[in-house]
Homo-oligomer: A and B are copies of this chain.
Amino acid sequence: MREVAIIGIGQTTIDEHWDKSLRVLAGDAALAALSDAQREQVDGLFIGNMLSGPLNRQENLGAMIADWVGLRGAEAVKIEAACGSGGAALRAGLIAVSSGAMDSALVVGVEKMTDTPPAQTTAALATAADADWEAAQGLTFVAINALVMRRYLHEYGWKHTDFAPFSINAHANAVYNPHARLQDPISEADYNRARMVAEPINLLDASPIGDGSAALILVPAEDLRPNGHPVIKIVASASATDSIAVHDRHDPLWLSAAAESAKKAYAQAGIGPAEIDFFELHDAFSIMAALSLEASGFAERGQGPRLGLEGQVRPEGRVPIATRGGLKARGHPVGATGVYQIVEVVEQLRGVAGGSQVPGAKIGMAQNIGGSGATVITHILKAEA
Protein backbone atom coordinates (compact mmCIF):
# COMPACT_ATOMS: atom_id res chain seq x y z
CA MET A 1 0.00 0.00 0.00
CA ARG A 2 1.49 3.30 -1.15
CA GLU A 3 1.23 6.57 0.73
CA VAL A 4 -1.33 8.89 -0.86
CA ALA A 5 -1.36 12.70 -0.96
CA ILE A 6 -4.10 15.21 -1.68
CA ILE A 7 -2.76 17.65 -4.25
CA GLY A 8 -5.89 19.53 -5.27
CA ILE A 9 -9.14 20.76 -3.75
CA GLY A 10 -12.24 22.42 -5.19
CA GLN A 11 -15.64 23.45 -3.86
CA THR A 12 -18.74 25.42 -4.73
CA THR A 13 -20.57 27.62 -2.28
CA ILE A 14 -23.41 25.79 -0.55
CA ASP A 15 -26.63 27.53 -1.48
CA GLU A 16 -29.91 27.16 -3.36
CA HIS A 17 -28.29 26.80 -6.78
CA TRP A 18 -31.47 26.82 -8.87
CA ASP A 19 -29.45 27.86 -11.90
CA LYS A 20 -27.07 24.89 -11.79
CA SER A 21 -27.87 21.25 -12.51
CA LEU A 22 -26.28 18.39 -10.62
CA ARG A 23 -23.68 17.88 -13.35
CA VAL A 24 -22.76 21.56 -13.47
CA LEU A 25 -22.31 21.73 -9.69
CA ALA A 26 -20.14 18.60 -9.70
CA GLY A 27 -18.18 19.89 -12.66
CA ASP A 28 -17.48 23.24 -11.03
CA ALA A 29 -15.90 21.57 -7.99
CA ALA A 30 -14.09 18.88 -10.01
CA LEU A 31 -12.55 21.31 -12.48
CA ALA A 32 -11.47 23.61 -9.63
CA ALA A 33 -9.72 20.65 -7.97
CA LEU A 34 -7.97 19.63 -11.21
CA SER A 35 -6.85 23.23 -11.72
CA ASP A 36 -5.65 23.51 -8.12
CA ALA A 37 -3.66 20.29 -8.58
CA GLN A 38 -2.32 21.41 -11.97
CA ARG A 39 -3.45 18.17 -13.55
CA GLU A 40 -5.65 17.54 -16.56
CA GLN A 41 -6.68 13.95 -16.11
CA VAL A 42 -7.13 11.15 -13.63
CA ASP A 43 -7.50 7.37 -13.85
CA GLY A 44 -10.77 7.12 -11.94
CA LEU A 45 -13.65 9.07 -10.41
CA PHE A 46 -15.41 8.31 -7.12
CA ILE A 47 -18.68 10.19 -6.67
CA GLY A 48 -20.12 10.57 -3.18
CA ASN A 49 -23.87 11.18 -3.41
CA MET A 50 -26.94 10.04 -1.54
CA LEU A 51 -30.11 11.42 -3.13
CA SER A 52 -29.67 11.94 -6.88
CA GLY A 53 -32.16 9.15 -7.64
CA PRO A 54 -35.20 10.39 -5.73
CA LEU A 55 -34.44 14.15 -5.91
CA ASN A 56 -32.77 14.62 -9.31
CA ARG A 57 -34.05 11.56 -11.21
CA GLN A 58 -30.46 10.77 -12.15
CA GLU A 59 -28.29 7.77 -11.33
CA ASN A 60 -25.17 6.55 -13.13
CA LEU A 61 -23.48 9.76 -11.88
CA GLY A 62 -20.01 8.34 -12.43
CA ALA A 63 -20.28 8.17 -16.21
CA MET A 64 -22.21 11.44 -16.38
CA ILE A 65 -19.70 13.48 -14.37
CA ALA A 66 -16.64 11.88 -16.00
CA ASP A 67 -17.96 12.93 -19.40
CA TRP A 68 -18.97 16.42 -18.25
CA VAL A 69 -15.50 17.27 -16.92
CA GLY A 70 -13.74 16.07 -20.07
CA LEU A 71 -12.75 12.64 -18.79
CA ARG A 72 -15.06 10.50 -20.96
CA GLY A 73 -13.90 6.92 -20.78
CA ALA A 74 -12.36 7.06 -17.31
CA GLU A 75 -13.52 4.51 -14.79
CA ALA A 76 -16.17 6.06 -12.54
CA VAL A 77 -18.61 4.95 -9.87
CA LYS A 78 -21.01 6.36 -7.28
CA ILE A 79 -20.59 5.49 -3.60
CA GLU A 80 -23.52 5.75 -1.18
CA ALA A 81 -23.50 5.58 2.61
CA ALA A 82 -26.26 8.11 3.38
CA CYS A 83 -24.74 11.32 4.82
CA GLY A 84 -21.42 9.43 4.96
CA SER A 85 -21.27 9.06 1.17
CA GLY A 86 -18.53 11.67 0.74
CA GLY A 87 -16.18 10.09 3.26
CA ALA A 88 -16.90 6.65 1.82
CA ALA A 89 -16.09 7.91 -1.68
CA LEU A 90 -12.75 9.26 -0.46
CA ARG A 91 -11.98 5.93 1.21
CA ALA A 92 -12.78 4.02 -2.01
CA GLY A 93 -10.58 6.36 -4.05
CA LEU A 94 -7.81 6.12 -1.48
CA ILE A 95 -7.81 2.30 -1.56
CA ALA A 96 -7.71 2.36 -5.37
CA VAL A 97 -4.70 4.71 -5.49
CA SER A 98 -2.79 3.27 -2.54
CA SER A 99 -3.17 -0.24 -3.95
CA GLY A 100 -1.76 0.69 -7.33
CA ALA A 101 -5.02 -0.14 -9.11
CA MET A 102 -4.97 3.52 -10.18
CA ASP A 103 -2.32 6.21 -10.30
CA SER A 104 -4.68 9.11 -9.63
CA ALA A 105 -8.27 9.66 -8.57
CA LEU A 106 -10.82 12.45 -8.50
CA VAL A 107 -13.19 12.26 -5.53
CA VAL A 108 -16.33 14.35 -5.91
CA GLY A 109 -19.09 14.85 -3.36
CA VAL A 110 -22.25 16.37 -4.81
CA GLU A 111 -25.83 16.86 -3.69
CA LYS A 112 -28.67 18.97 -5.06
CA MET A 113 -31.52 19.20 -2.56
CA THR A 114 -33.41 22.45 -3.01
CA ASP A 115 -35.18 21.97 -6.35
CA THR A 116 -37.75 19.65 -4.79
CA PRO A 117 -40.58 20.44 -2.35
CA PRO A 118 -39.31 20.31 1.28
CA ALA A 119 -41.61 17.40 2.16
CA GLN A 120 -40.07 15.34 -0.65
CA THR A 121 -36.56 16.20 0.53
CA THR A 122 -37.45 15.31 4.13
CA ALA A 123 -38.88 11.96 3.00
CA ALA A 124 -35.75 11.28 0.95
CA LEU A 125 -33.51 12.07 3.93
CA ALA A 126 -35.44 9.54 6.00
CA THR A 127 -34.03 6.80 3.74
CA ALA A 128 -30.83 7.15 5.83
CA ALA A 129 -32.80 5.60 8.70
CA ASP A 130 -34.47 2.19 8.88
CA ALA A 131 -37.38 2.24 6.42
CA ASP A 132 -39.22 -0.64 8.11
CA TRP A 133 -38.64 0.17 11.78
CA GLU A 134 -38.10 3.93 11.96
CA ALA A 135 -39.40 5.81 8.90
CA ALA A 136 -42.49 3.60 8.63
CA GLN A 137 -43.45 4.73 12.16
CA GLY A 138 -43.49 8.35 10.98
CA LEU A 139 -40.05 9.28 12.29
CA THR A 140 -38.16 11.86 10.26
CA PHE A 141 -34.40 12.08 10.52
CA VAL A 142 -34.50 15.10 12.83
CA ALA A 143 -37.07 13.33 15.04
CA ILE A 144 -34.70 10.40 15.55
CA ASN A 145 -31.93 12.78 16.60
CA ALA A 146 -34.38 14.60 18.88
CA LEU A 147 -35.14 11.36 20.72
CA VAL A 148 -31.40 10.79 21.17
CA MET A 149 -30.82 14.35 22.43
CA ARG A 150 -33.74 14.15 24.85
CA ARG A 151 -32.37 10.93 26.27
CA TYR A 152 -28.90 12.47 26.56
CA LEU A 153 -30.21 15.48 28.53
CA HIS A 154 -32.08 13.11 30.84
CA GLU A 155 -29.24 10.66 31.30
CA TYR A 156 -26.37 13.07 31.91
CA GLY A 157 -28.19 16.06 33.43
CA TRP A 158 -27.24 18.72 30.87
CA LYS A 159 -29.53 21.59 29.94
CA HIS A 160 -30.38 22.37 26.32
CA THR A 161 -28.51 25.67 26.49
CA ASP A 162 -25.28 23.80 27.34
CA PHE A 163 -25.11 22.85 23.64
CA ALA A 164 -25.11 26.50 22.53
CA PRO A 165 -21.30 26.81 22.32
CA PHE A 166 -21.16 24.20 19.52
CA SER A 167 -23.50 26.21 17.30
CA ILE A 168 -21.99 29.59 18.27
CA ASN A 169 -18.48 28.32 17.40
CA ALA A 170 -19.62 26.89 14.07
CA HIS A 171 -21.29 30.14 13.02
CA ALA A 172 -18.35 32.25 14.24
CA ASN A 173 -15.96 30.21 12.07
CA ALA A 174 -18.21 30.26 9.00
CA VAL A 175 -17.88 34.04 8.86
CA TYR A 176 -14.40 33.41 7.42
CA ASN A 177 -15.50 30.75 4.92
CA PRO A 178 -16.74 32.27 1.66
CA HIS A 179 -18.25 28.90 0.62
CA ALA A 180 -20.42 28.55 3.74
CA ARG A 181 -24.20 28.50 3.54
CA LEU A 182 -24.67 30.66 6.67
CA GLN A 183 -22.03 33.34 7.22
CA ASP A 184 -23.72 35.15 10.11
CA PRO A 185 -22.53 34.89 13.72
CA ILE A 186 -25.12 33.92 16.33
CA SER A 187 -25.34 34.67 20.06
CA GLU A 188 -26.41 32.50 22.98
CA ALA A 189 -29.65 34.52 23.09
CA ASP A 190 -30.28 33.72 19.40
CA TYR A 191 -29.73 30.03 20.17
CA ASN A 192 -32.07 30.00 23.15
CA ARG A 193 -34.92 31.71 21.33
CA ALA A 194 -34.63 29.82 18.02
CA ARG A 195 -37.88 28.18 16.99
CA MET A 196 -38.41 24.55 17.86
CA VAL A 197 -38.03 21.87 15.13
CA ALA A 198 -38.40 18.60 17.08
CA GLU A 199 -38.06 19.08 20.80
CA PRO A 200 -35.41 19.56 22.13
CA ILE A 201 -33.73 20.24 18.75
CA ASN A 202 -34.31 23.82 17.67
CA LEU A 203 -33.38 25.55 14.44
CA LEU A 204 -29.90 26.46 15.73
CA ASP A 205 -29.12 22.89 16.76
CA ALA A 206 -29.74 21.70 13.20
CA SER A 207 -27.58 21.98 10.09
CA PRO A 208 -29.09 23.49 6.93
CA ILE A 209 -29.33 21.36 3.80
CA GLY A 210 -28.26 22.89 0.48
CA ASP A 211 -26.89 22.34 -3.01
CA GLY A 212 -23.15 21.94 -3.25
CA SER A 213 -20.15 20.02 -4.48
CA ALA A 214 -16.59 19.53 -3.26
CA ALA A 215 -13.70 17.66 -4.87
CA LEU A 216 -10.24 16.24 -4.19
CA ILE A 217 -7.36 14.96 -6.33
CA LEU A 218 -5.43 11.97 -4.96
CA VAL A 219 -2.05 10.72 -6.20
CA PRO A 220 0.60 8.40 -4.75
CA ALA A 221 3.00 10.40 -2.58
CA GLU A 222 5.82 9.07 -4.76
CA ASP A 223 4.30 10.88 -7.76
CA LEU A 224 4.26 14.40 -6.30
CA ARG A 225 5.28 17.25 -8.55
CA PRO A 226 5.74 20.82 -7.29
CA ASN A 227 2.42 22.68 -7.57
CA GLY A 228 2.85 25.42 -5.00
CA HIS A 229 1.08 23.62 -2.15
CA PRO A 230 2.45 21.98 1.00
CA VAL A 231 2.50 18.18 0.85
CA ILE A 232 -0.55 16.76 2.63
CA LYS A 233 -0.80 13.00 3.14
CA ILE A 234 -3.68 10.81 4.22
CA VAL A 235 -2.17 8.92 7.15
CA ALA A 236 -5.29 7.04 8.28
CA SER A 237 -8.62 5.90 6.84
CA ALA A 238 -11.09 3.63 8.62
CA SER A 239 -14.78 2.83 8.44
CA ALA A 240 -17.20 0.89 10.64
CA THR A 241 -20.95 0.35 10.97
CA ASP A 242 -23.59 -0.01 13.66
CA SER A 243 -27.26 -1.00 13.56
CA ILE A 244 -29.19 1.33 11.27
CA ALA A 245 -32.07 1.70 13.75
CA VAL A 246 -31.09 3.55 16.93
CA HIS A 247 -33.38 1.44 19.13
CA ASP A 248 -31.41 -1.68 18.18
CA ARG A 249 -28.30 -0.47 20.03
CA HIS A 250 -27.30 -1.49 23.54
CA ASP A 251 -26.68 2.19 24.32
CA PRO A 252 -28.35 4.74 22.04
CA LEU A 253 -26.02 7.42 23.42
CA TRP A 254 -22.80 5.73 22.32
CA LEU A 255 -21.64 5.89 18.69
CA SER A 256 -19.86 2.56 18.54
CA ALA A 257 -19.10 2.86 14.82
CA ALA A 258 -17.48 6.25 15.43
CA ALA A 259 -15.46 4.81 18.30
CA GLU A 260 -14.35 1.84 16.22
CA SER A 261 -13.40 3.85 13.15
CA ALA A 262 -11.52 6.43 15.26
CA LYS A 263 -9.69 3.68 17.14
CA LYS A 264 -8.57 2.07 13.87
CA ALA A 265 -7.55 5.46 12.46
CA TYR A 266 -5.44 6.33 15.52
CA ALA A 267 -3.71 2.95 15.28
CA GLN A 268 -2.93 3.47 11.59
CA ALA A 269 -1.52 6.94 12.21
CA GLY A 270 0.32 5.85 15.33
CA ILE A 271 -1.11 8.72 17.37
CA GLY A 272 -3.93 9.43 19.81
CA PRO A 273 -6.52 12.19 20.25
CA ALA A 274 -3.97 14.40 22.01
CA GLU A 275 -1.96 14.68 18.80
CA ILE A 276 -4.94 15.85 16.69
CA ASP A 277 -4.70 19.62 16.12
CA PHE A 278 -8.35 20.00 14.98
CA PHE A 279 -11.33 17.78 14.29
CA GLU A 280 -13.88 18.30 11.51
CA LEU A 281 -16.76 16.35 13.00
CA HIS A 282 -20.26 15.57 11.74
CA ASP A 283 -22.37 18.15 13.60
CA ALA A 284 -25.57 17.54 11.64
CA PHE A 285 -27.22 18.27 15.00
CA SER A 286 -25.51 19.68 18.10
CA ILE A 287 -26.10 16.39 19.92
CA MET A 288 -24.01 14.62 17.26
CA ALA A 289 -21.10 16.98 17.98
CA ALA A 290 -21.11 15.89 21.63
CA LEU A 291 -21.45 12.18 20.78
CA SER A 292 -18.65 12.32 18.19
CA LEU A 293 -16.26 14.06 20.59
CA GLU A 294 -16.94 11.34 23.16
CA ALA A 295 -16.70 8.37 20.78
CA SER A 296 -13.46 9.72 19.30
CA GLY A 297 -11.74 10.03 22.66
CA PHE A 298 -11.79 13.81 23.12
CA ALA A 299 -14.22 13.76 26.06
CA GLU A 300 -15.43 11.27 28.63
CA ARG A 301 -18.78 9.61 28.04
CA GLY A 302 -21.54 12.12 28.73
CA GLN A 303 -19.08 15.02 29.00
CA GLY A 304 -18.99 16.32 25.41
CA PRO A 305 -20.78 19.60 26.16
CA ARG A 306 -18.10 20.51 28.69
CA LEU A 307 -15.58 21.05 25.86
CA GLY A 308 -17.93 23.62 24.35
CA LEU A 309 -18.63 25.36 27.64
CA GLU A 310 -14.89 25.62 28.37
CA GLY A 311 -14.19 27.15 24.96
CA GLN A 312 -11.98 24.22 23.93
CA VAL A 313 -13.73 23.73 20.57
CA ARG A 314 -12.80 27.18 19.25
CA PRO A 315 -9.85 27.57 16.81
CA GLU A 316 -7.48 28.51 19.66
CA GLY A 317 -8.79 25.76 21.99
CA ARG A 318 -7.60 22.25 22.73
CA VAL A 319 -9.96 20.50 20.26
CA PRO A 320 -11.02 22.95 17.56
CA ILE A 321 -14.09 21.66 15.66
CA ALA A 322 -16.17 22.95 12.75
CA THR A 323 -13.32 25.30 11.94
CA ARG A 324 -14.84 26.37 8.61
CA GLY A 325 -18.40 26.32 9.93
CA GLY A 326 -19.06 22.60 10.17
CA LEU A 327 -22.31 21.10 8.97
CA LYS A 328 -24.12 23.61 11.19
CA ALA A 329 -23.04 26.76 9.35
CA ARG A 330 -21.03 25.74 6.29
CA GLY A 331 -24.10 23.62 5.43
CA HIS A 332 -24.95 19.95 4.88
CA PRO A 333 -25.47 18.90 1.24
CA VAL A 334 -25.63 15.38 2.54
CA GLY A 335 -23.66 13.20 0.12
CA ALA A 336 -21.12 15.99 -0.44
CA THR A 337 -20.46 16.79 3.22
CA GLY A 338 -17.70 14.25 3.77
CA VAL A 339 -15.71 15.74 0.91
CA TYR A 340 -16.24 19.30 2.15
CA GLN A 341 -14.80 18.19 5.50
CA ILE A 342 -11.61 16.98 3.82
CA VAL A 343 -11.32 20.12 1.67
CA GLU A 344 -11.50 22.12 4.91
CA VAL A 345 -8.87 19.97 6.64
CA VAL A 346 -6.60 20.66 3.66
CA GLU A 347 -7.32 24.41 3.91
CA GLN A 348 -6.26 24.37 7.56
CA LEU A 349 -3.13 22.34 6.83
CA ARG A 350 -2.23 24.73 4.01
CA GLY A 351 -2.68 27.59 6.44
CA VAL A 352 -5.26 29.41 4.32
CA ALA A 353 -8.22 29.35 6.73
CA GLY A 354 -7.97 33.08 7.45
CA GLY A 355 -9.81 34.26 10.55
CA SER A 356 -10.58 30.71 11.68
CA GLN A 357 -7.09 29.33 11.11
CA VAL A 358 -5.98 26.87 13.78
CA PRO A 359 -2.52 28.11 14.84
CA GLY A 360 0.23 25.72 13.80
CA ALA A 361 -2.16 23.06 12.48
CA LYS A 362 -0.20 20.01 11.27
CA ILE A 363 -2.56 17.06 11.87
CA GLY A 364 -6.31 17.18 11.19
CA MET A 365 -9.02 14.57 11.57
CA ALA A 366 -12.39 14.36 9.82
CA GLN A 367 -15.30 12.13 10.72
CA ASN A 368 -18.28 11.63 8.41
CA ILE A 369 -21.44 9.88 9.63
CA GLY A 370 -24.17 8.17 7.58
CA GLY A 371 -27.50 7.82 9.36
CA SER A 372 -27.69 8.30 13.12
CA GLY A 373 -24.28 6.72 13.61
CA ALA A 374 -24.90 3.70 11.36
CA THR A 375 -21.92 4.21 9.00
CA VAL A 376 -18.87 6.18 10.11
CA ILE A 377 -15.71 7.00 8.16
CA THR A 378 -12.71 8.64 9.84
CA HIS A 379 -9.67 10.12 8.08
CA ILE A 380 -6.50 11.68 9.47
CA LEU A 381 -4.41 14.02 7.31
CA LYS A 382 -0.93 15.32 8.02
CA ALA A 383 1.07 18.18 6.55
CA GLU A 384 4.68 17.36 5.85
CA ALA A 385 7.14 19.47 7.82
Contact = CB atoms under 8 A, between A and B. Distances in A.
B76 A375 contact: yes
Contacts of A98: 99, 101
A107 to B, nearest CB: 14
A241 B66 contact: yes
A243 B57 contact: no
B72 A242 contact: yes
A21 B132 contact: yes
A256 interface: yes
B63 A242 contact: yes
A100 B77 CA distance: 21
Contacts of A76: 81, 239, 241, 375
Q: Label chain A's interface by main secondary structure.
A: mixed
Interface in A231-260: 238-244, 248, 256-257, 260
A128 B57 CA distance: 9
23 contacts: A1-B99, A51-B53, A53-B127, A59-B82, A60-B82, A60-B371, A60-B374, A63-B81, A63-B374, A64-B130, A67-B248, A72-B243, A73-B256, A73-B257, A73-B260, A74-B240, A74-B241, A75-B239, A76-B81, A77-B79, A77-B375, A79-B80, A99-B101
Given A57-B123, A63-B257, A63-B371, 19 more contacts: A1-B99, A1-B101, A50-B59, A53-B53, A53-B127, A57-B126, A57-B131, A58-B130, A60-B81, A60-B82, A60-B129, A61-B80, A63-B375, A67-B242, A77-B91, A95-B99, A95-B101, A98-B99, A99-B101
Nearest to A101: B95
A132 B57 CA distance: 9
Interface in A75-91: 75-82, 88, 91
B101 A67 contact: no
A135 interface: yes
Contact of A128 (B60, B79, B92): B60
Contact of A88 (B77, B128, B238, B370): B77
A96 interface: yes
A124 interface: yes
A98 to B, nearest CB: 7
A62 B75 contact: no
A100 B2 CA distance: 11
A375 B63 CA distance: 6
A138 interface: no
A227 interface: no
Contacts of A77: 79-81, 88, 91-92, 239, 375
A51 B62 CA distance: 16
B60 A244 contact: yes
Contacts of A135: 57
A54 interface: yes
